[in-house]
Amino acid sequence: QVQDMPGGPRVRQLNMPEGVTQIAQDIAWLHWMVMIVCAVIFVGVFGVMFYSILMHRKSRGAVPAKFHEHVGVEVAWTVIPFIIVIAMALPATRTVVEMKDTSNAGLTVKATGYQWRWGYEYVDGPAQGVKFMSSLSTPRAQIDGTEPRSPTYLMEVDNPLVVPVNTKVRVVLTANDVIHSWMVPDFGVKQDAIPHFLRDAWFRAEKVGTYRGQCAELCGKDHAFMPIVVDVLSQEDYAEWSKEQQRLLAEAADDPGKEWSKDELIARGEKVYATYCVACHQANGKGLPGTFPALDGDEKYVLAPMKDQILTVLNGHPGTAMAAWRDILNDVEIGAVITYTRHAWSNQGKGADPIVQPSDVQALR
C-alpha cells in the first residue's frame, strides 16, 4: 500500500501543498481565491443555463421570445467581469513582486542542471566552496518493477541540497546542456535553468524537514529521473554539516600527478561510468542507435589513440547530447572512466593507449 511521501505528494492529494514558505502559502491562498470566484461565476452562469434548458424547452410548449440584443446587459457583463479581473490581479501583483525580490539573501547556492542530475555549489556561507552532484538514488530494479518501490520512489537522491531553516536562500540557476527547471512545490519555487544563462529564485523555509520536487522542463529521455531533494536543517545542524563538508573536501582532493595502476583506474572508472555515462551509453556500452553512440567496439574514439576521446569527454560534442564534462569531473575521474571504457565489454584494452593516466588528461585540459 502506497503511503504519503514526506515532503512530497500525498496519496490522492487534491490541492496544492500547504507549503513551508510564506510564498507557497500566498500562492495557495491566491489559488483558492481565484478558484472560488470562478466557481461562483460558474454556478451562476450555468444555473441560468440549466434553468433555461429545463424550463424553455419545446416539449414543455415553450414559445421562443423575440429579443436578440440588449445594450444594458451587454455592457454590464463586459464591465463587471473587468472589475472582477482587476480585483483578482491586485493581490497577485503583490505576490509577484515578492517572489521576484531575490535581494538580501542569507545564503546563495548555485544549482546547475545537467542531463540528468543537479549539481550544487555553495557560493557563500560556512559551506562556501562545497560542491557536489545530486543524482536519483532509486535503483533501476524499482523502476523496472522487479523490486518493491520505496515510499520516496523517484523523489530521492544520493546527496540532497542542505540549507538552514528560516534563512533566505537564493538559488542561482544555470544549466549545462538543455533547459531544466528546479521545482520544489513546498517552497513555491519553480525556476527554469537556462543553459549558460543565470536565473535566480529564493525561498525561506520555515520548518525543518526534507522537501522534494522534480525537474519540470522536458530535458530529454531521463527528464523524469532528476529529482530535487532539499534538507532543511536547524541553524546548529547546518553549521555542523558545513564543517563536516569542509573537512571532507580537504580530504578528498584527488592528486592528478600520482601514477595510478590499471586496476585502480578501472575500479574508479566503473563507478564514474555508472553515475554519469550509463544513462546514455547504457550499461552494456551499446548506446541507443541513432541518438547515443556505442562505446563497445567503437573504433573511432575508444579503440583509437587517447587524444580524441579525452578531448571529447572534456569538451563534449556540439550538436549532440554529449556534454562537456570538464567542469563536472576532475582529471582522475576522466582518466579513470576512459580507461574503464577501454577495458569494459569486448574492448578488453585491445585498442591503442589502453591506459589513460590523470596526467594525460591534465595535459589536454
DSSP-derived 3-state class of residue 105: coil
Least distance in angstroms from the C-beta of 82 to ligand HEA: 8
Least distance in angstroms from the C-beta of 84 to ligand HEA: 4
**What phi-psi label fits residue 96: left (phi over 0), alpha (psi between -120 and 50 degrees) or beta?**
alpha
Binding mask 201-230 for other proteins (x = CB under 8 A): x-----------xxxxxxxxxxxxx-----
Residue at grid coordinates 541518438: 291
Q: Which stretch binds other proteins (CB under 8 A): 196-204, 241-249, 269-277, 348-356?
A: 196-204
Helix axes 71-100, 22-55, angle to 10 degrees: 160
Least distance in angstroms from the C-beta of 106 to ligand CUA: 27
How many angstroms separate the Cα of 134 from the Cα of each of 131, 160, 212, 286? 10, 6, 13, 26
Q: Does 125 bind other proteins (CB under 8 A)?
A: no
- Find which of other proteins, ligand CUA, ligand HEA, none residue 92 binds, CB within 5 to 8 Å per kind: other proteins
What separation, in Å, do the N-terminal and C-terminal C-alpha atoms of the chain show? Answer: 52
Question: Toward other proteins, which CB reaches closer, 10 or 300?
Answer: 10
CA-to-CA distance for 302 and 16, rounded, in angstroms? Answer: 49
C-alpha cell at 273: 561510468
Q: Does 129 bind other proteins (CB under 8 A)?
A: no
Binding mask 170-209 for ligand CUA (x = CB under 6 A): ----------x-----------------------------
Q: Does 227 bind ligand CUA (CB under 6 A)?
A: no
Q: Which of 38, 248, 253, 283 binds other proteins (CB under 8 A)?
A: 38
Q: Which of 274, 283, 288, 363 binds other proteins (CB under 8 A)?
A: 288
- Find which of ligand HEA, other proteins, ligand CUA, none residue 35 binds, CB within 5 to 8 Å per kind: other proteins
Question: Toward ligand CUA, which CB reaches closer, 137 or 167?
Answer: 137
C-alpha cell at 258: 600520482
Bridging pattern class, strands 131-134 and 117-122: antiparallel
C-alpha cell at 76: 454590464
CA-to-CA distance for 106 and 126, rounded, in angstroms? Answer: 11
Q: Which residues bind ligand HEA (CB under 6 A)?
A: 38, 41, 45, 81, 84-85
E strand or H helix at 23: helix 22-55
Residues that bind ligand CUA (CB under 6 A): 113, 116, 180, 215, 217-219, 223, 226
